[in-house]
Amino acid sequence: MQKNPIIPEATNQSNASADPSAPNQFYRWELLGFLVLAFFFHQGDRAIFGVVLPAIKSDLQLTDAQLGLVGSVLFFALAVLMPLTGYFGDNWSRKWIITISVTFWSLATMLTGLARGLTGLILFRSVATAGGESFYAPAAYSLLAQFHKKTRSLALSIHQCALYVGVMVSGFLGGYIAEQWGWRATFYIFGGCGVLLGIILAFRLKNSPRDLPTQLGSSDQKVTLLEAFTALFRTPTALFLTTGFTAIVFVNNAYVVWAPSFVQEKFNLSLTAAGGGAMLYHHLAALVGVLIGGKISDTMILSRRQFRLELQAAAMLIGVPTIVWMGLTDSLMSTWIAMACMGLCRGMYESNTQASLFDVIAPRYRASAIAMMTMVAFLFGSTSPWLLGCCCEWFPDGSGLSYGFASLSLVYLIGGLAVLIGLKTTFRHDLKEDILKTSDSQ
């Protein structure tokens, strides 16, 4: 009599249940909680540089272009490292990738407080910090996607909220610490908290079923370097989505570095008011957008499979006039409102950044695809802080940042059109997963 075929997913779950180190049925939510906390520091540590940038400029006697270069080198270093991080994320224990990543970038943040000039800032703030941060996202996103299928957009949206909360908190807290004890103390405190979290993660994170030896021991589960580097580029829809994500990253990088200085100089605000306001209104609205977008997307794709891309394209195209408004308005209140509207559009897009990519990428290549998409986005996006710094010098009358931010609307327009083209031409052919035929693991 013919034997029943073995169903891999059921076998893996059975092996996971038998292994004492395997997660229980609630692990996907416990995991989400830990990763939210890790991503909070990931983005908080990154954002405090923009918040205390005026104090660094005064203390170290640096030009605007030099300060923009520090941010650009950080994002360029992140991009260069991404291909390797995706390969590791698809083949190594993601528990230890995440734990080591959190600890390393936090140590680099602490060391930034010791910088005495441009070289020190680039070494600690840009190169060393990128070495830690780059390994986090591919491992974290692919791990979350494994445990959340029907709730994937919601889970990834909640994780994305940590970005906004981290940036908002760093806006006020970073500015306050800098005003009370100096900009160096900001890096010491934020970095020290991250190191403590890394120690906790080493004891609390559990290996997922995918990380168990019974699965990783098989050669057919390994992803080769060539597969890791080409997974994204073999899928046309993924390339259109990468164009959209590149536009988002380009604008976000410029915003997080220069928005506090923009409002401080234009409206003569304090460090705390400028950094807090620029980060609060934009990212609070983005938080609302990402939660609404995630929940709506998980509901709508049950009947309209292409809804994630539709939402992303609409969010970017609607965001175009809000960026122009933010850059050119002469009213502080109007600037805050424009920043919030821009943030809402950003959040609606980012509620599906990873989920829409995972729709067209096979599960075993997800970390690699995320890494390569991030690499492309940050290669181009790394130039935006430097370009806006140059705008300050091209327009010495003080209007450089106003014109620079307004011009970023063209980048949103290109990104929105790219996602729309992918939706209309290649999405149905590239779709990899039928949500109606899947259920949450665990």
For residue 243, the model assigns a pLDDT of 97
Q: Which residues constitute the domain of residue 229?
A: 25-437
pLDDT higher than 90, residue 308? yes
Confidence band for 91, pLDDT divided at 50, 70 and 90: confident
Give the separation between CA 349 and CA 222, rounded to whole angstroms: 32
Q: CA 129, CA 78: separation in Å to the nearest integer?
A: 9
CATH number of the domain residue 152 falls in:
1.20.1250.20
Which pLDDT value is given to residue 150? 67
Nearest Cα to Cα of residue 48 among 163, 187, 194:
187
Give the range with max mean pLDDT: 71-80, 152-161, 224-233, 296-305.
296-305
CA distance 11 to 17: 10
* Range 42-68 average pLDDT: 83
179: CB partners within 8 A, 6+ apart: 270, 271, 272
**Average pLDDT taken over every residue of the chain:** 81
Q: Report yes or no on 8 lying in a domain.
A: no
What pLDDT is attached to residue 22?
Answer: 45
Return d(Cα 54, Cα 266) in angstroms, integer.
Answer: 13
Task: Identify the top-confidence range among 14-23, 62-71, 314-323, 379-388.
Answer: 314-323
Distance CA 115, CA 180 (A): 19
Tell me the C-alpha distance between 416 and 319, whole Å.
9
Q: How far apart are CA 291 and CA 282, in angstroms?
A: 15
**Helix axis angle, 136-147 to 152-181, nearest 10°:** 140
CA proximity to 156, closest of 302, 35, 19: 35
What pLDDT is attached to residue 328? 94
Alpha carbons within 13 angstroms on the beta-carbon side of residue 245 total 26
Q: Output the pLDDT for position 236.
A: 95
Who contacts 338 (Cβ-Cβ below 8 Å, separation ≥6)? 322, 323, 325, 326, 329
Mean of the pLDDT values across residues 52-61?
86
Per-residue pLDDT, 123: 85
Domain for residue 6, yes or no? Answer: no
Give the pLDDT of residue 321: 97
Residue scoring higher pLDDT (432 or 408): 408
Q: Residue 210 — pLDDT band, cuts 50, 70, 90?
A: very low
The pair of three-digit structure tokens given for residue 394, joined into one six-digit string: 């091209």
Q: How many beta carbons lie within 10 A of that of residue 342, not counting itself?
A: 29
Determine, yes or no, domain membership for 13. Answer: no
Q: Domain for residue 10, yes or no?
A: no
Instruction: Using DSSP, state whether 49 is helix, strand or coil.
Output: helix
Comparing 225 with 343, the larger pLDDT belongs to 343
Two tokens, residue 310 = 């539709």
Asked if the model's pLDDT at residue 346 lies above 90, the reply is: yes
The amino acid present at 230, given as its one-letter code, is T
Least confident among 122-131, 216-225, 356-365, 410-419 = 216-225
Judge whether 88 lies within some domain: yes
Tell me, yes or no, whether 5 lies in a domain: no
Number of C-beta neighbours around residue 110 at 10 A: 20
Q: Which two tokens stand for residue 436?
A: 């109606």
Residue 15 placed within a domain: no
Q: Could you give the 3-state DSSP secondary structure of residue 223? A: coil
Q: What angle do CA 27, 28, 34 make, to 5 degrees?
A: 85
Enter the tokens of residue 380: 């181009």
Count of structural domains within the chain = 1
Minimum mean pLDDT among 129-133, 213-217, 403-407: which range?
A: 213-217
Residue 144 falls inside a structural domain: yes
Q: Of residues 148 and 308, which shows the higher confidence score?
A: 308
Please, which pLDDT band fits residue 24 given cuts at 50, 70 and 90?
low
